[in-house]
Amino acid sequence: MQKALHIQVRLVKEKNEGGSHYRQRVCIGRSEVMKTLQVDDTLNSMLVDIGKKHNKKPKEVLESLIYSTYDQMKRTGRKVL
């Protein structure tokens, strides 16, 4: 019998001199793997503007875009971008 594996992905925003960074935190079961994604100020301001329009945080906007893009890629088997 196979057990379901719970995977949770979170993006955490950090600011520094060169722009904003989104650190990706992936929780698989009880273990945790962290990744960093660098985002320049222009892209970050776009995420903030879209988030304001949809009443979401930039992290939630980015997650929504990535999840829907990934889902479309898996369903169609084709390149999405």
What confidence tens digit (pLDDT) does each residue in 41-66 have?
888 888 889 999 999 988 888 888 88
* Across 9-13, 16-20, 25-29, 33-37, least confident range: 25-29
| Total domains present in the chain | 1
- The DSSP output letter for 2 is P
Q: Is the pLDDT of residue 30 over 70?
A: no
The reply to whether 27 falls in a domain is yes
Mean pLDDT of the region 67-73: 87
Asked whether residue 15 is assigned to any structural domain, the reply reads yes
Strand blocks (E) in 1-81: 7-16, 19-28, 31-39
Whole-angstrom distance, CA of residue 14 vs CA of residue 23: 7
Residue 2 lies inside a defined structural domain of this protein:
no
Say if 1 falls within a structural domain: no
Domain range for 66 is: 7-76
Q: What is the pTM of this model?
A: 0.55
